[in-house]
Amino acid sequence: MNFFCQIFGSFRLKVSLGFALVLAMPLVQAQDHVAEQNAIRLMKSWRDAHPNYHLHIDTIGQFVKTSADSFRWIENSREFSKTDYHLVQPNEARVVFESAPGDVIAYFPETHDHVLTKMLPGDADLLTPKLVGNDYTEQLINLTKVCQLGTAGQLNELKLVFVPTKINVFPSKADITIFIRFDNDGMVHEIEQRRLGLKQVSTMNFLTFDLAAVKQAAPATPDPGLANGNKSYEDALQDDILYFMKARLQRQRASL
């Protein structure tokens, strides 16, 4: 997974198969935003200097609460990535996502389902598409109609307003605004997303950059090659939600 997939993993947005009319408002041109391009390059440089990490992410919104532990490490010139994702609200579930060639594998520790998500390329993170050709910072900025660098307290703040039709996200008239808050070294501390009157904020806490510690803390998962291709990710997720619902009911009955 690339840089933006790691940073924005908690902001997974469904991608529609259709296209809508492109908004008439002109897009921001990357060449007019040198400071913003430098900010993106600074964050990427920080990430490149820290190839191994254990990152804890807490996300809170009006109707959502999640926690996640993201693990990334490089070994023998290969990149490994796992995210232990715990959904608390609106429904409880837990799934470990693991990157694999051509797909993202989902393992549900409680139900032991191990399935293909088919998230790539049909269902991708907002900022995960492979950016080829020009400098990826230009391609990223050219997807926005607002790109502005400022400050938020002691942190730098990069504001990005994405045009939904340019990233195939619907409804087509509901802009996606993301604030990335990072320090002067390029370390991201907080990400805020606003859309359709809703807001969710993710707080980032890097726990370690030590390779051995990262590998030891990463959750154990089955061989990706053994993932079940017959059961859908959606069905596996629903089964996991039911598991947690039944477990909660059992605890409630036991406490009576």
Q: What is the pTM of this model?
A: 0.80
For the record, the structure tokens of 99 come out as: 């990157």
User: Is residue 85's pLDDT more than 70?
Assistant: yes
Q: What is the pLDDT of residues 15-42, one digit of tens each?
A: 222 222 222 334 445 456 789 989 988 9
Hey, which residues does 74 pair with through a beta bridge?
79
pLDDT for the residue numbered 208: 98
Q: What DSSP string describes 42-58?
A: HHHHHHHT--SEEEEEE
Contact 68, 10 (CB under 8 A): yes
pLDDT averaged over every residue in the chain: 81
Q: Which CATH architecture has domain 3-255?
A: Clam (2.50)
Determine the residue type at 114. Answer: H
pLDDT for the residue numbered 124: 37
Q: What is the pLDDT of residues 143-186, one digit of tens each?
A: 888 899 999 999 999 999 988 887 777 787 888 899 999 999 99
Domain coordinates in residue numbering, the chain:
3-255
Sign of torsion over alpha carbons 244, 247, 252, 253? positive
Distance between CA atoms of residues 61 and 89, nearest Å: 9
Within 8 A by CB and 6+ apart from 256, the residues are: none
**C-alpha neighbours within 13 Å on the C-beta side of residue 104:** 22
